[in-house]
Structure 1
Amino acid sequence: METRQLGGDGPALSVIGLGCNNFGMKLDRDASAAVINAALEAGITHLDTAEMYGGGKSEEFIGATLGARRDEVVLATKFLPRPKDEPYSPGALRRRIIEGCEGSLRRLRTDRIDLYYQHYPDVEAPAEEALQALDELVQQGTILHIASSNVTAAQVETAAGIAESALLTRFCGTQIEWNLLSRAVELDVVPSAHANKVGIVPYFPLASGMLTGKYRRGQEYPRGSRFDAMSYFADKVVSEENFARVEALTAFAQERGHTILELAVAWLAAQDGVASVITGATTPEQVRANAAAASWRLTAEELAAVP
């Protein structure tokens, strides 16, 4: 599978990444291992997790499954923010980062994290505190690269400016929600990332399942599906407008011999600055379908014609 560098100085990531948020929640250890092994067989070497996924079990399952194959992958994880009820005091965010890193290293059974994300910005703490703590970990060698997640354009610019002026390790990438039904980031975050040489890693490429084609206008949600089990996701994306867009996108893909899922992933992979598209999976079959989507390389004409 194709690999791409994240930003100007980040790691090389497989263009399709495996989102590991289902591990420890929907999937037990054996089912998670089956998904991880299918990803490796498909050429996916970018595994994305977080200490909050499954209450730490996602990281545990990854570490246990990889074993001697750890060096074959780029491990990306994220630290939790400070507890909401904890008043900020100088050094509190640094302690949270150090603690989070130590826990992730232990659960992942590794001596370093290839790509470490600040999962959510800490709006009460100075941005310098996070960058200083992360730089300290980079200097120790326990973290190789750092990145942001769920940030605004202003936060991308602020972090880049602080890193440059204070000579600290910079965020090489940012992870954002971006898909064919959620494109607001194209107005500000994406241009800011480009301007600051920050690579982009989109998550929720299938709009929580809306872009898989399994949900139909006027029909009940399939039993056991995400929309059936968690109304939060359905409430976020289900609308008459989005059903109409899905129908148009489905027709566009079918006219070219592809599925809407393949279009959703391939469209993101074709966007400037995107290094890897995070795709979740609960079965090896879903992993293989996500990996296959990367083989469709949209032409400039196709990109311009996407509804």
Structure 2
Amino acid sequence: MEYRNLGRTGVKVAPLALGTDNILNPTGEDESVRMILRALDAGINLIDTSNSYKGGEAERILGKALKQSGRRDEAFIATKAHYPTGPGPNDRGNSRLHLLKACEDSLKRLGTDHIDLYQLHRPVFDMPIDETLAALTDLVRSGKVRYIGSSTAPAWKVLEGLLISELKGYVRFVSEQPPYNLLDRRIENELIPMAQAYTLAILPWSPLAMGILAGRYADQDLRPEGSRAALRGGIYAERVSERAVRVGNRFVGLAREAGYDPAQLAILWAKDQPGITAPIIGPRTVEQLEHLLPVMEMKLDDSIRAACDALVPPGSAVANFHNSAPWMRMKLEFSA
């Protein structure tokens, strides 16, 4: 398997990362532990979590799995902070006050003395980024964090962080974690070119488009039993529109006609797009994980890439996977 550099760092990561948002939501603890260990067995080393996933329980179970197996050093732990951790006005956001406490709490749940990649789960626009970067710099210099990154931020906000770090001697973002799949390609317009210019790792979330690209949804049933849209509703359900499902099922037909499994091709497409470091896969079961592991050794054929471009042109979108980021405006400029 070919490992990839995490941005401009010397860290090598597998071409797929394991996401943990399904831990206890709905995946049980035992199955979650088995998935974590199986991912490590297969060579996946970047495991992404957050202090907001099931109220921090995803971090706890990840830490437990690594400690009990004695495999902490095999894992590159990426976690995040930003979302509320309590009722108070300072129990959220990217302030120094919140981030220092959130980091300590994550370290306790993970049962480790350091976090490999500490990410801002969302950007903040009503305070200077200097305060955030200064706090993250102190965490790095204290040894509690190795690298820092951001998630679901606009290109200009990430670049602002890079420039402020350069000017003031703060630690530098090494990664950005945006939503990205064939149904929402808008990061190709600005974020990916910026990341390539400044050697920033891109770790996309939702490469399967919540299962739409795996054929999980029928044209007449947008909330099938057991789907994330049905289980979680809200912004998750909003992403599953009739148009998204219609285009997604055309992709499913394209994949099968070309001899691919649709889920594998959706992940492969994201993995082999320019500027992508490692898509984050979020299987619910060990069986689903096993099904996606072969993608790490596969290469995307140019003719398939062209067929996907014809279905959803580069830089465009037919679904809104940025709907948790109000700074992004949905633009549907063509008919699919």
The match for 1:258 is 260
Check whether the contact 2:64–2:110 (CA below 8 A) recurs between aligned residues: yes
Query: What percentage of aligned pairs have identical amino acids?
Result: 35
The match for 1:167 is 169
Check whether the contact 1:156–1:193 (CA below 8 A) recurs between aligned residues: no
The match for 1:38 is 38
The match for 2:54 is 54
The match for 1:64 is 64
Aligned pairs (5 A) from 1:48-197: 48-67=48-67, 68-81=70-83, 86=89, 93-197=95-199
1:39-66 CA-to-partner distances (Å, cap 9, x unmatched) read 1222221110001111111011011111
Structure 1 unaligned spans of 5+? none
Moved more, 139-148 or 210-219: 210-219
The match for 1:8 is 8
Check whether the contact 1:10–1:145 (CA below 8 A) recurs between aligned residues: no
Residues 10/97 of structure 1: CA separation in 2 closer, same or farther (3 Å cut): farther
The match for 1:234 is 237
The match for 2:323 is none
TM-score, normalised with respect to structure 1: 0.92
Check whether the contact 1:15–1:275 (CA below 8 A) recurs between aligned residues: yes
Aligned pairs (5 A) from 1:214-233: 214-219=216-221, 221-232=223-234, 233=236
C-alpha distance in 2, partners of 1:87/1:219? Answer: 41
Aligned-residue offset at 1:265? 0.5
Higher relative contact order (CA 8 A, sep 6+): 1
Runs of 4 or more consecutive aligned structure 1 residues displaced over 6 Å after TM superposition:
82-85
1:259-298 CA-to-partner distances (Å, cap 9, x unmatched) read 1111111111111221111010111011111222233211
The match for 1:292 is 294
3-state secondary structure, aligned to 1:214: coil
Structure 2 unaligned spans of 5+? 312-336
3-state secondary structure, aligned to 2:112: coil
How many residue pairs match? The answer is 304
Read off the aligned partner of 2:218 and give its amino acid letter: R
Aligned-residue offset at 1:92? 7.9
Aligned-residue offset at 1:99? 0.7
Read off the aligned partner of 2:35 and give its amino acid letter: V
C-alpha RMSD of matched pairs (Å): 2.2
